[in-house]
């Protein structure tokens, strides 16, 4: 492993006050990273809207509605164009940047947070074009990468220690998530629980400030409204019993999903196939999307329909197979993008399917609630971050109490079962078995 592993947690404590040596430099880096990440999230979000508007001739914010109105020819041309752009873009990025790209998780754990700035930012922008044109991947990958790059830059500019850089890069990734979706607390917890892997007390304030600043800056230009509209609903005994039945199913589905993500990442094309694979896969996605436009994009619009119970049962069952398949094939073909919203959408589809089946035996619960709880369960199990998943669901919907008990229960059970079977999360797909074992060991190292 890189030499940074031997000194993990020993080189430069995280300052908890303003009076410790080097504290001012650290907190200046947090401030500058938060501001730049918020501005980056605004720029990437606006770019996504422009790409969607030009590609689909819609509003730029609802790809599903625009795709429903588009012709078969547009579906084919736009997605093949996305495939060509992906192949050429990946080739250009490799030529411009020496060495291989470093995944954000690997950078935090095994490279002291260091990552190639040009290639990482280029990949982030390329993913925005791909997702805006219809690739079945998440848009949060781009601001998450941008936040990590900004954090790495300011950590170097302020001459921070390796341990401080690790934390700052994790906070940058979480701040990107927070700014992209308007979820400051969820972004902070995502940085700690998922990216950094520790909920240590001295890590909390940097994560909170970074995500808060980035989200606050993004709200200057982006709307400060919940991502999903969901009415407050009463919790009944039927819901609690359903959670006990559905949680193991969500856990097993999450394990399968994570392993498919890993398989797809391990078998990405190389050589000349990097030009062919994205064109073929996205061309097929374009053809299928004419009849099933719900498989396009990150799945946000589909999730909203599921939460509002506006998807027919038969269609939901079909999409339960097609949507994750589209995401896995996009990863397999080498298309860059995030996995947060696609995972949430998979969970919403699974929850909706299980909820409709449950309603045959115990009717009376709005199907949208089952979809929301399923989304929370799969999000918790695939990220292996139950606390951040629960908070993210509450912030994304703007509700803090109406479904908190069943959400906590299903997130906890599904994560426990999934973690007992599979140690990886969707963000660990690039790590080898040895790296996963080493990361698990490092989590037990006392935090300075």
Rounded to an integer, what distance in angstroms lies between the CA atom of residue 432 and that of residue 434?
Answer: 5
Question: Following DSSP, what letter does each residue of 363-427 receive, concatenated?
Answer: --S-HHHHHHHHHHHHHHHHHT-HHHHHHHHHHHHT-SSTTHHHHHHHHHHHHHHHHHH----GG
What is the tens place of the pLDDT at every residue in 152-202? 999 999 989 999 999 999 999 999 999 999 999 999 999 999 999 888 888
pLDDT confidence of residue 18: 85
Q: By three-state DSSP, how is residue 138 classified?
A: strand
Q: Is 228 helix (H, G, I), strand (E, B) or coil?
A: coil
- Write the CATH number for 98: 1.10.3080.10
Instruction: Check whether residue 255 and residue 400 sit in a common domain.
Output: yes
The answer to whether residue 224 is domain-embedded is no
Rg for the chain, CA atoms, rounded: 21
**63 shares a domain with 172:** yes
- Provide the number of structural domains found in the chain: 2
- Tell me whether residue 226 is in a domain: no
80 shares its domain with 120: yes
Q: Closest by alpha carbon to 156, among 167, 165, 148?
A: 165
Per-residue model confidence (pLDDT) at position 3 = 37
Spatial separation of the C-alpha atoms in residues 249 and 351, rounded to whole Å:
10
Distance CA 238, CA 365 (A): 7
Position 113 in a domain: yes
pLDDT at 401: 78
What's the domain range around 94?
3-218
Residues 209 and 301 in one domain: no
Question: What pLDDT is recorded for position 1?
Answer: 40
Nearest of 113, 88, 114 to residue 99 by alpha carbon: 114
Is the distance from CB of 132 to CB of 6 less than 8 angstroms? no
- Give Cβ neighbours of residue 15 (< 8 Å, ≥ 6 apart): 21, 22, 23, 26, 27
Domain boundary, last residue among 190, 218, 246: 218
Predicted TM-score of the model (pTM): 0.93
C-alpha dihedral, 339 to 340 to 346 to 350, nearest 10°: 140
Q: Contacts for 393-396 with beta carbons within 8 Å, 24 or more apart?
A: 394/186, 395/181, 395/182, 395/183, 395/184, 395/185, 395/186, 395/226, 396/181, 396/183, 396/186, 396/226, 396/227, 396/228
| Cβ-contact 7, 446 below 8 angstroms | no
What does pLDDT average to in each consecutive run of 10 residues of the chain (448 residues)?
39 80 92 97 96 88 92 97 95 73 84 89 95 95 95 93 94 96 96 89 94 96 89 87 97 97 93 92 97 96 95 96 97 95 97 95 90 97 96 91 92 97 90 82 65
In whole angstroms, give the CA distance from residue 275 to residue 334.
Answer: 9
Q: What is the pLDDT of residue 97?
A: 66
Note whether 248 and 197 are same-domain residues. Answer: no
List the structure tokens of 250: 């969500």
277 and 418, same domain (yes or no): yes
On whether residue 244 sits in a domain, the answer given is yes
Does 105 reside within a domain?
Answer: yes
Query: In degrees to the nearest 10, what's the CA dihedral of 276, 130, 297, 345?
Result: 80
393 and 283 belong to one structural domain: yes
pLDDT tens figures, 238-280: 999 999 999 999 999 999 999 999 999 999 998 889 999 999 9
């Amino acid at each position: 492993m890189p030499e940074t592993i031997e000194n993990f947690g020993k080189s430069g404590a995280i300052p908890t006050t303003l009076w410790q040596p080097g504290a001012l430099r650290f907190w200046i880096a947090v401030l500058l990273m938060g501001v730049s990440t918020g501005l980056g999230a605004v720029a990437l979000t606006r770019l996504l809207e422009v790409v969607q508007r030009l590609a689909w001739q819609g509003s730029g914010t609802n790809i599903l509605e625009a795709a429903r109105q588009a012709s078969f020819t547009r579906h084919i041309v736009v997605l093949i164009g996305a495939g060509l752009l992906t192949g050429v873009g990946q080739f250009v990025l490799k030529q411009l940047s020496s060495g291989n790209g470093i995944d954000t998780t690997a950078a935090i754990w095994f490279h002291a947070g260091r990552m190639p700035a040009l290639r990482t930012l280029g990949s982030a922008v390329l993913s925005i074009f791909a997702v805006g044109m219809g690739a079945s991947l998440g848009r949060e990958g781009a601001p998450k990468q941008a936040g990590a790059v900004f954090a790495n830059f300011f950590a170097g500019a302020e001459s921070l220690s390796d341990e401080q850089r690790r934390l700052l890069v994790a906070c940058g990734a979480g701040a990107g998530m927070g700014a992209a979706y308007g979820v400051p607390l969820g972004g902070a917890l995502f940085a700690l629980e998922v990216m950094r892997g520790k909920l240590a007390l001295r890590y909390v304030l940097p994560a909170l400030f970074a995500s808060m600043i980035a989200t606050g800056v993004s709200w200057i230009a982006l709307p400060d409204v919940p991502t999903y509209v969901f009415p407050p609903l009463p919790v009944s005994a039927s819901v609690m019993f359903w959670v006990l039945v559905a949680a193991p199913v969500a856990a097993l589905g999450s394990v399968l999903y994570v392993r498919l993500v890993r398989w797809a990442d391990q078998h990405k094309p190389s050589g000349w196939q990097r030009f062919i694979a994205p064109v073929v896969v996205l061309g097929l996605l374009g053809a299928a999307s004419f009849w099933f436009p719900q498989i396009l994009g990150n799945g946000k619009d589909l999730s909203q329909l599921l939460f509002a119970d506006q998807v027919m049962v038969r269609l939901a069952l079909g999409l339960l197979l097609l949507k994750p398949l589209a995401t896995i094939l996009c990863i397999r073909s080498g298309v860059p993008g995030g996995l947060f919203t696609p995972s949430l959408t998979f969970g919403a589809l699974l929850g909706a399917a299980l909820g409709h089946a449950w309603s045959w035996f115990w009717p009376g619960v709005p199907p949208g609630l089952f979809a929301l709880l399923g989304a929370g369960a799969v999000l918790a199990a695939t990220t292996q971050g139950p606390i951040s998943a629960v908070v993210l669901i509450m912030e994304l919907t703007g509700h803090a109490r109406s479904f908190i008990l069943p959400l906590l229960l299903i997130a906890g059970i599904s994560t426990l079962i999934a973690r007992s079977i599979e140690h990886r999360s969707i963000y660990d797909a690039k790590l080898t078995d040895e790296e996963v074992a080493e990361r698990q060991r490092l989590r037990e190292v006392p935090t300075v």
